[in-house]
Structure 1
Amino acid sequence: MRASSFLLLVGATAAAIPCAAPAQARGRQSAAVPATSALLVPDRVWDGVASAPHSGWAVLVTGNKIIAAGPRGQISVPAGATTIDLPGTTLMPGLIDAHSHVLLHPYNESSWNDQVLHESLALRTARAVNHLRATLMAGFTTLRDLGTEGAGYADVGLKEAVNQGIIPGPRMFVVTRAIVATGAYGPAGFASEYANDIPQGGQEASGLEQVAQVVRDQIKHGADWVKIYADYRWGPNGETEPTFTLDELKEAVDIASTSGRPVTMHATTAEGMRRAVLAGVTTIEHGDGGTPEVFKMMADRGICLVPTLAAGDAVMQYNGWRKGVDPDPPSIVA
């Protein structure tokens, strides 16, 4: 193994989603089987705090928890622990992806409409199993998966399969179907007489009563977080406009918070972001059209932005932009 190689503490980190998240067990361990310990001894350890890796450090892992990390001579190693030498490597904590969709193709690989309308739930779930394994092997030990995009509650089952050791994958925080305003999401563009029969990529709601019912329904089905689309491309000419009223968003946040669950909102316009902030969300996704005023509101309230910088690049590619050949679109340059 080359000196430039990196190893990540797959399955051993106790990382939490930034900006707080509900507690969730990574796996199941029988009380009758004592946890074993291993001392990992690489060339270097990067702890995610210092700007450079530490030479001469080691990491002690017991069961699925990191017990100690520091200079090898200062770590108290329990009797019977296994020492694993990792020459030529740098050891670092597992990574966190705070915005994923494991039940989708990569954005530059397949049409979103085709996936929602033409691919079976079984096919999408089988592909997601591969995505989870690949994500774990890439060093990501925690995922916040923000919507099944028409695949129902499959994310809950995938999370349970990982937790039970049936399939390999990162620990997951899931939102199930996500919540969209009636008529605001997709697939769209079909004959009006069939509009109500087209499967949607999110769970629709309209008005305070329906918003409350849908939030509670997703919690019932296993949501760890609640995700809401505060704006989307539903203007008269496809412009991105706010979807839910501020009162509707507040209703959703109030109910989710009562249950102990945080709320995240998709918002790409300044007004959608402003409403999300005033509603009391924990994180805002994307934020492409954010203004200094909106970002200050977020900072004052401790609301995190998850910018998803790679998503816009990938979407432009499957919409026809040839990266490295065509001029960069304004949204990419910005």
Structure 2
Amino acid sequence: MKNVILVTVCFLSLMLKAQTLLVPDRVFDGEKLHSDWVVLVEGNIITYAGTANELTRPANIKKIWLAGTTLTPGIIEGYSHLLLHPYNETDWNNQVLKESPVERAIRGTVHAKNTLMAGVTTTRDLGAEGAGYTDVYLKKTIEEGIIPGPRMLVAGPAIVATGAYGPKGFHDGVTVPLGAEAVSGMPEAITTVRRQMGNGADFIKIYADYRWTSGAISQPTFLQEEIDAMVATATSAGKYVVAHASTPEGIKRAINGGVETIEHGDGATLELFKLMKEKGIGFCPTLAAGDAIAQYRGWKKGKEPEPERIKKKRSSFKLALESGVAIVFGGDVGVFTHGQNYREMELLVDYGMKPMAVLTSATSQNARMFHLNKLGSLKKGYWADIIAVKGDPLQDISRMKDVVFVMKDGVVYKEAN
């Protein structure tokens, strides 16, 4: 019996020390592309990333051959809604009004798995959109290993100014659930930020502008002092604020208030983008969401001229590139299909960004922007979130849809045949 126990202990000890060597054609480490590199993983930590001939190979090693592939850090999605599904299936109003949080949570488990299998090992989820703190519990079930999915950073319900958010279009005698939490005035804004953080929000999302009535153009919502107070409240607790903002004034107030990223930013001027760069604020353009919505509204992409909204987005993004502001990779996934996160990468390149800059944005830059100090790079000591795609995405960014290997936290979820 003692011998059996001894053998078992020795076997488990060897298993714990087992290391995995990943051998692709090339490695993008989060900053640069390398040939003849390998990556060694022990447990959930990268212990070596470099040329194969400089590695002293341990005796107890498992090799995973990834011929014809490029190894990259796991993708860090900057803008998702795992509790939404494409608006051409069910429009946003009906998802908020007719799909219960239970149904949406079940959908979210499917979306989480599809996201991970697409090579996204971390996602920043920007609001439960009427489902309360369901995103917090979706994150919890992933962390506890109940369901597969990416690491999640969650905003909870998000915060809007009273009267400025939907669903809208009902007469004043009808009370409907909102897609976010409404506040007015500094005391209520401060209280709500504190409550959301206490309920598990990793960061706070605010709407700096929105449509006050259905069909109207967006206008600023919060007063400057309200934004200032919400940012100060979050910052004092070691957290931060991001802002949905599309109008020049809404963007300016969000910048001056000290948010960390601007989402959408369609109406930003060159001066505002330069100010964002100066203050270290990231810009998440969500090109894929706008592209998808235009198609839902009837645009036959590739057959018809681009709608005015798409043309304006191209012009705005060109200003962003000119300014040098940090581009946050994030497509507003959920507006379109979860697992098709690569669509934002393709559009970023189409709109003028270099593939190297896109991959850097989706890995090491997003890691820095989101305070993920051990993610986004293939370096010794970093967590083993690693994917492989067929071919070379720096030559053809659409290769990012061909994910053949996914490792998250040292665990292989998809392995190349």
Q: Same fold (TM over 0.5)?
A: yes
- Output one character per residue of 1:67-97: Cα deviation in whole Å (capped at 9) or x when no partner: 2211012124444232222223222211111
Partner of 1:41: 23
Q: Secondary structure at the match of 1:193?
A: coil
Distance 1:109 1:185 in 2: 22
> Which of 105, 130, 137 is equivalent to 1:157?
137
Amino acid at match of 2:244: H
Shifted more, 285-294 versus 314-323: the winner is 314-323
The yes-or-no answer on 1:122 pairing with 2:97 is no
Amino acid at match of 1:48: G
Specify every segment of 5 or more residues in structure 2 that has no aligned partner in the other structure, as ranges: 1-14, 313-417
Amino acid at match of 2:26: R
Q: Secondary structure at the match of 2:70?
A: strand
The yes-or-no answer on 1:182 pairing with 2:162 is yes
Distance 1:230 1:179 in 2: 9
Distance 1:237 1:138 in 2: 35
The yes-or-no answer on 1:228 pairing with 2:209 is no
Q: Secondary structure at the match of 2:173?
A: helix
Shifted more, 98-107 versus 40-49: the winner is 40-49
Report the structure, 1 or 2, having the larger helix content: 2
Q: Secondary structure at the match of 1:142?
A: strand
Which structure is higher in RCO with an 8 Å CA cutoff and minimum separation 6? Answer: 2
Distance 1:227 1:312 in 2: 20
Distance 1:144 1:86, change over 3 A: same
Partner of 1:97: 77
Q: Secondary structure at the match of 2:76?
A: strand
Q: Secondary structure at the match of 1:260?
A: coil
- Output one character per residue of 1:13-33: Cα deviation in whole Å (capped at 9) or x when no partner: xxxxxxxxxxxxxxxxxxxx9
Partner of 1:274: 252
Distance 1:36 1:216 in 2: 44
Q: What value does the CA root-mean-square deviation take over the aligned residues? A: 1.7
Distance 1:237 1:124, change over 3 A: closer
Partner of 2:328: none
Shifted more, 270-279 versus 66-75: the winner is 66-75
Query: Contact conserved, 1:109 with 1:318, CA < 8 A, in 2?
Result: no
* Pairwise CA distance, 1:237: 6.1
> Which of 224, 228, 242 is equivalent to 1:246?
224
Superposition map of 1:130-149 within 5 A: 130-149=110-129
Distance 1:256 1:84, change over 3 A: same
Distance 1:57 1:88 in 2: 13
* Pairwise CA distance, 1:235: 5.6
Partner of 1:24: none
- Output one character per residue of 1:281-322: Cα deviation in whole Å (capped at 9) or x when no partner: 111101000011211211111111111111111222333434
- Output one character per residue of 1:91-141: Cα deviation in whole Å (capped at 9) or x when no partner: 221111101001001244320001000111111111111111111111111
> Which of 176, 181, 187 is equivalent to 1:209?
187
Partner of 1:73: 53
Amino acid at match of 1:265: A
* Pairwise CA distance, 1:151: 0.9
Distance 1:82 1:123 in 2: 41
Query: Contact conserved, 2:39 with 2:49, CA < 8 A, in 1?
Result: yes
Percent identity for Structure 1 against Structure 2? 53
Amino acid at match of 2:50: G
TM-score normalized by the length of structure 1? 0.85
* Pairwise CA distance, 1:163: 1.0
Query: Contact conserved, 1:108 with 1:317, CA < 8 A, in 2?
Result: no
Q: Secondary structure at the match of 1:321?
A: coil
- Output one character per residue of 1:174-195: Cα deviation in whole Å (capped at 9) or x when no partner: 000000111100001101111x
Superposition map of 1:8-19 within 5 A: none
Query: Contact conserved, 1:111 with 1:318, CA < 8 A, in 2?
Result: no
Query: Contact conserved, 1:57 with 1:71, CA < 8 A, in 2?
Result: yes
- Output one character per residue of 1:137-173: Cα deviation in whole Å (capped at 9) or x when no partner: 1111110000010111111111111111111111010
The number of equivalent residue pairs is 298
Distance 1:78 1:221 in 2: 45
